[in-house]
């Protein structure tokens, strides 16, 4: 890969056949969650390699690929933001990246784009902020699916610090969300709470909720329980 790489070079690494497969995988058909998204056919490892070459691109170029119609270009832009955020020791710069990220959520419009960026920017920035709960609750009631997912995934950082409280509040708020992607996201974070904070904490939360929560959410949340316990939950016999 040449050192003087420019953003126009990204498309040289595409693969038309892979692009077709990715379009199906990420549900880009009419009425599906990724409707209208376009793919170049880049693998994630290729995208990560390109990030290293493009890390110092101008703000204008970054804006151009973050607002691109191509999924992988948006992914590269988001991974550049993540790298810049993690490299910065300056609170002002980190806040600017965080604010820029949240002002572009309409382009962070698929689950992989959210999952690879929200925890490492939104979660990391908010972890020591007094108003983090207020901010995440506001995102969680957004009409935009991807802002709701950003809110939930951002809390993974809190979970790793053994602080599941906000995650529980968000899941309660999203229990009746109509999107299966949100049921999966909430169930995933509940499962992480069981792994990082203890099964007893998760079981206490599930006690009065498991019979009424979406089935997908329940399945994801109890995935790490032993088989006997999982069956008890799934058969409503706890």
Residue 13 tokens, joined:
């690494």
- Please give the average per-residue pLDDT across 90-112, as a whole number: 97
Residue 112 has pLDDT above 70, yes or no: yes
Per-residue pLDDT of 1-57, as tens digits, reads: 444 688 999 999 999 999 999 999 999 999 999 999 999 999 999 999 999 999 999
Percent of the chain's residues with pLDDT above 70: 98
**Backbone phi and psi for residue 176, each to the nearest 5 degrees, phi listed first:** -105, 15
CATH of domain 1-87: 1.25.10.90
Q: Quick one: pLDDT at residue 237?
A: 86
Give CA 97 to chain center in angstroms: 16
Query: Residue 4: what pLDDT?
Result: 60
Mean pLDDT of the chain: 96
pLDDT at 226: 96
Classified as helix, coil or strand, 203 is helix
State the pTM of this model: 0.95
| Nearest-angstrom CA–CA distance, 153 and 6 | 31
What are the domain boundaries of the chain?
A: 1-87
């Amino acid at each position: 890969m040449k050192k003087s790489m420019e953003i126009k070079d990204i498309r040289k690494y595409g693969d038309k056949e892979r692009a077709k497969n990715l379009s199906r995988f990420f549900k880009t058909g009419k009425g599906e969650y990724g409707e209208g998204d376009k793919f170049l056919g880049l693998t994630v490892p290729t995208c990560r390699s390109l990030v290293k070459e493009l890390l110092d691109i101008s703000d204008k170029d970054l804006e151009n690929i973050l607002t691109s119609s191509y999924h992988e270009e948006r992914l590269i832009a988001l991974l550049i933001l993540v790298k810049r955020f993690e490299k910065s020791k300056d609170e002002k710069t980190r806040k600017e990246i965080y604010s820029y990220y949240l002002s572009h959520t309409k382009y962070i419009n698929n689950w992989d784009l959210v999952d690879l960026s929200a925890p490492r920017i939104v979660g990391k920035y908010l972890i020591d902020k007094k108003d983090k709960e207020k901010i995440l609750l506001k995102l969680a009631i957004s009409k935009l699916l991807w802002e709701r997912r950003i809110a939930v995934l951002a809390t993974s950082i809190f979970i790793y610090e053994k602080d599941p409280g906000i995650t529980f509040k968000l899941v309660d708020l999203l229990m009746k969300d109509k999107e299966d992607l949100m049921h999966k996201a909430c169930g995933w974070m509940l499962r992480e709470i069981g792994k990082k904070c203890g099964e007893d904490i998760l079981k206490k939360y599930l006690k009065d909720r498991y019979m009424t929560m979406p089935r997908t959410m329940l399945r994801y949340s109890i995935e790490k329980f032993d088989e006997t316990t999982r069956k008890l939950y799934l058969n409503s016999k706890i």
